[in-house]
């Protein structure tokens, strides 16, 4: 359902790992700095060119992708890699195979609005928006902005999705994990806990396992 209008789709979410490790072959870090400035260092990298070609080949978006967008994708891919590994540890292979992942989904009749990620399990759909904040998100309004976007996206998708589907939303706010080559340990810990929280959210609400408990996200 979502693959046709997505930049990249994985009918089995675990396949994202092959794409990230083998196709892109990138060792990416979420670093401090504005996306355009960070993008200057990767403008002609092989993985940057691959992402440009993938974006252009779908012919969905009627414009070229910016380097800032590519930086944002790579940041979010770090989180998705961690999320998939979390799900692998906590789900059976059979269940994992039933979860699909779609990146940069273009919402129909929305003037080119795109959802960062769509995660689907049977007739349950999770819309995920991603953002990096250099300030701890609980003291900023970045969550509220992303959640408002998601509510709008949800309503737009409900215009044409079958009524039997349930749509959920999740704003993931990450923090830069490195300042140059120096690791920011408290930010790394923050991101790890939030990946675990997202994983728990998926297991509880998208898979419907309300009795699941994950102590690492507390």
What local confidence, expressed as pLDDT, does residue 215 receive? 55
Residue 1 covered by a domain: no
Cβ-based neighbour number of residue 216 at 10 Å = 12
- Beta pairing class for 166-174 and 114-121: unpaired
> Which positions of the chain have pLDDT values less than 70?
138-140, 215-218
Tell me: the pLDDT tens digits for 166-185?
999 999 999 999 999 999 99
Half-sphere exposure of 19 (CA within 13 A, CB side): 21
DSSP 179-195: ETTEE-HHHHHHHHHHH
Residue 42 covered by a domain: yes
Residue 80 covered by a domain: yes
CB 94 within 8 A of CB 40: no
Residue 40 covered by a domain: yes
Distance CA 169, CA 154 (A): 8
- In the chain, the number of structural domains is 1
What local confidence, expressed as pLDDT, does residue 156 receive? 97
Segments forming the whole domain that contains residue 15: 6-217
What local confidence, expressed as pLDDT, does residue 62 receive? 73
What local confidence, expressed as pLDDT, does residue 63 receive? 79
């Amino acid at each position: 359902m979502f693959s046709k209008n997505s930049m990249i789709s994985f009918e089995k979410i675990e396949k994202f790992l092959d794409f990230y490790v083998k196709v892109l072959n990138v060792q990416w870090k979420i670093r401090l700095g504005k996306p355009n400035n960070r993008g200057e260092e990767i403008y002609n990298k092989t993985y940057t060119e691959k992402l440009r070609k993938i974006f252009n080949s779908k012919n969905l978006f009627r414009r070229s992708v910016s380097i800032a967008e590519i930086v944002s994708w790579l940041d979010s891919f770090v989180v998705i890699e961690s999320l998939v590994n979390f799900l692998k540890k906590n789900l059976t292979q059979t269940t994992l195979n039933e979860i699909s992942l779609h990146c940069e989904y273009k919402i129909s009749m929305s003037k080119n609005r795109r959802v960062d990620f769509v995660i689907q399990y049977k007739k349950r759909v999770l819309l995920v928006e991603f953002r990096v904040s250099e300030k701890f998100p609980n003291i900023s309004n970045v969550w509220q902005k992303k959640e408002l976007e998601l509510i709008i996206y949800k309503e737009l998708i409900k215009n044409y999705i079958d009524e039997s589907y349930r749509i959920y939303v999740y704003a993931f706010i990450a923090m830069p994990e490195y300042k140059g080559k120096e690791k920011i340990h408290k930010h790394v810990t923050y991101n790890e806990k939030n990946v675990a929280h997202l994983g728990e959210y998926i297991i509880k609400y998208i898979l419907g396992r309300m009795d699941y408990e994950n102590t690492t996200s507390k």
